[in-house]
A and B are shown apart, each in its own frame.
Chain A
Amino acid sequence: GQQLNQSPQSMFIQEGEDVSMNCTSSSIFNTWLWYKQEPGEGPVLLIALYKAGELTSNGRLTAQFGITRKDSFLNISASIPSDVGIYFCAGQKDSGYALNFGKGTSLLVTP
């Protein structure tokens, strides 16, 4: 399966700053998902997007499904130290296919 292009690879920011990361693909996807993974744990679903152009929020997190269906972004506003982790994007063509993952964005937040 195709691996998605996720950027940036890592971010080191101060508490209170906003964060933006994105994911692009050469293929069209019908679903975009964003996960957060903490060390030694499985990824936890943050936001699921099912429709091109969809903008969805979950607390301080906002994600959008790109109009072309080939990209998605995730924003985190007013970051806090517990936002630390690796954020993965994942795309899926149809329900019969497995997810394709980006390589992750490692986020570090200093108090």
Chain B
Amino acid sequence: DGGITQSPKYLFRKEGQNVTLSCEQNLNHDAMYWYRQDPGQGLRLIYYSQIVNDFQKGDIAEGYSVSREKKESFPLTVTSAQKNPTAFYLCASRADGNTIYFGEGSWLTVV
């Protein structure tokens, strides 16, 4: 099955901890994205990567970090510097042209 796989679906973080959300795609897409979704806020861009070993900050990158060592993988680390990390996180990748497809999302809750 081709697609974008995010894991875990649910994650709990203690204050002061770093956590990493996984995003894997087998669609052979070059570009990958991380969005954060809060109620009533729509989707806000955290980081994006157009190609392996390159990534750019989005609108709300503070407190987050990413890596892009392989084309298929774009993990997102939520660091302790992110003061309000509880949200729904969405990974996406872009096909040729401008169409962007999303994974099923990961819920992160601070406890």
Contact = CB atoms under 8 A, between A and B. Distances in A.
Interface in A3-44: 3, 6, 30-31, 33, 35, 40-44
A90 to B, nearest CB: 8
Contacts of A1: 45, 58-59
A33 B42 CA distance: 14
Given A30-B98, A98-B33, A41 B41 contact: no
B48 A42 contact: no
B30 to A, nearest CB: 10
Contacts of A44: 102
Given A41-B105, A43-B90, A95 B98 contact: yes
- Secondary structure of the A contact surface, majority rule: loop
A95 B45 CA distance: 15
B98 A50 contact: yes
A43 B90 CA distance: 9
B12 interface: no
B102 A42 contact: yes
B90 A101 contact: no
A99 interface: yes
Interface in B37-69: 40-45, 48, 50, 58-59
B42 A43 contact: no
Contacts of B48: 98
Interface of B: 4, 6, 31, 33, 35, 40-45, 48, 50, 58-59, 88, 90, 92, 94, 97-105, 107
Interface of A: 1, 3, 6, 30-31, 33, 35, 40-45, 48, 50, 88, 90, 92, 94-96, 98-99, 101-104
18 contacts: A31-B99, A33-B99, A33-B100, A35-B102, A40-B105, A42-B92, A42-B103, A48-B98, A48-B99, A92-B100, A95-B94, A95-B97, A96-B50, A98-B48, A99-B100, A101-B42, A103-B40, A104-B42
